[in-house]
Structure 1
């Protein structure tokens, strides 16, 4: 019985997150009420408050959802530059197809950048990039004179701007193309000429849907 209750509770929690993602994606943080979340989720307000004490708590949980895209990166045996290229396309895919990722990113930009500035999500992505680019540099795939930390910060900032611009101009229909442009322009600058053929700026085939390897 206890296990059944736990399973029902988790189903309800996921429904609330799905409903909140739809509402936040449509209307943003300020434009969304808990009544909107309840309506989209198909639950009672009591159920919502049982799992989430406030709209802020819901938003924080969804802001963390974006990191599902990179959740398997720590388990990759030999992460490198292609890992980050693929991850950028994986995030582009998530923004185009997953309302939770889309809502989380909107909240990071809207709330975490302006209403209540919080560098944590940006720092987390920078750390993920650095984790992959440091061994890439050690293996000779990135020029030894480059500051990997600065490069990681540049990549996160560039992707953030690219996806916002793509959203405004094409509702992210061209996002994979714009991410590919980023890598086509950047790779000749950071990769030694004799290593260029190793990397695919369009991402490897699995990066547009499956997990990053």
Structure 2
């Protein structure tokens, strides 16, 4: 690869990232239906021609942001778990809650997922990806005896994803998500006794593991 080719690729990637950032700001503020390509271009600082080079439509931009948001297995801290389980699922929701408070991309992606009805044909794929990721974590937990044997892990995964979605919306409306960490902690505090055997209950921290918050603190310090 020549130096000139490398420079062109770096510029193209920088433009693509700028478009995604601009789209996230616009979608986060106005939602899918009220956001125009002109709005995205304004927030991105690029021309419409540049946008069309990277993304063929507003829908393509929205789907890219949603896909990025729902790739739970790739999140910075949770991806380091060697043996996923109940605490992984807890930490995952707290990590997502942190992202909602600090990242326009995460906020936009979650808003777009919730607003799937804005599309002509709503697609359950992204919700299903969330559910599958959580279900995989819970399946490993049940295999180790960390979940009661009578718990249906598929149903529980659907409930966790739905509960998180509802809790974050209520927090957004009531406090602009300033209390989201506390509300997610409450969610797990009430849920765990119903699904975890009493002898295992002390293993899990509804407020998130120390390692998660250490990683987040380090991320904030480096930023």
Using structure 1 for the length normalisation, give the TM-score: 0.93
Q: How far does the alpha carbon of each residue in 1:64-103 deviate from its partner, in whole angstroms, 9 at most, with x for none? A: 1213553155663211100000001000001110100100
- Compute the displacement of 1:207 (Å): 3.0
Asked if 1:10 is matched to 2:19, the reply is no
Which whole-Å CA distance do the structure 2 matches of 1:74 and 1:203 have between them? 15
Which whole-Å CA distance do the structure 2 matches of 1:67 and 1:210 have between them? 20
Which whole-Å CA distance do the structure 1 matches of 2:211 and 2:33 have between them? 36
Q: Which has the higher contact order (CA 8 A, sep 6+)?
A: 1
Asked if 1:180 is matched to 2:220, the reply is no
Which whole-Å CA distance do the structure 2 matches of 1:165 and 1:70 have between them? 26
- Compute the displacement of 1:4 (Å): 1.1
Which ranges of structure 1 fall in alignment gaps of 5 or more residues? none
Provide closer, same or farther for how the CA distance between residues 117 and 76 of structure 1 changes in structure 2, counting only shifts above 3 A. same
After TM superposition, the runs of 4+ consecutive aligned structure 1 residues lying more than 4 A away are 72-75
Question: Match of 1:201?
Answer: 206
Which whole-Å CA distance do the structure 2 matches of 1:181 and 1:63 have between them? 26
Asked if 1:163 is matched to 2:189, the reply is no
Q: Alpha carbon RMSD of aligned pairs, Å?
A: 1.6
Provide closer, same or farther for how the CA distance between residues 141 and 113 of structure 1 changes in structure 2, counting only shifts above 3 A. farther
Which ranges of structure 2 fall in alignment gaps of 5 or more residues? 217-223
Question: Match of 1:143?
Answer: 148
Q: How many pairs does the alignment contain?
A: 210
Question: Match of 2:70?
Answer: 67
| Contact 1:89–1:179 (CA under 8 A) maintained in structure 2 | yes
| Contact 2:32–2:118 (CA under 8 A) maintained in structure 1 | no
Which whole-Å CA distance do the structure 1 matches of 2:34 and 2:5 have between them? 37
Q: How far does the alpha carbon of each residue in 1:29-55 deviate from its partner, in whole angstroms, 9 at most, with x for none? A: 111111111111111111111101111
Q: How far does the alpha carbon of each residue in 1:9-45 deviate from its partner, in whole angstroms, 9 at most, with x for none? A: 0000000000010011111111111111111111111
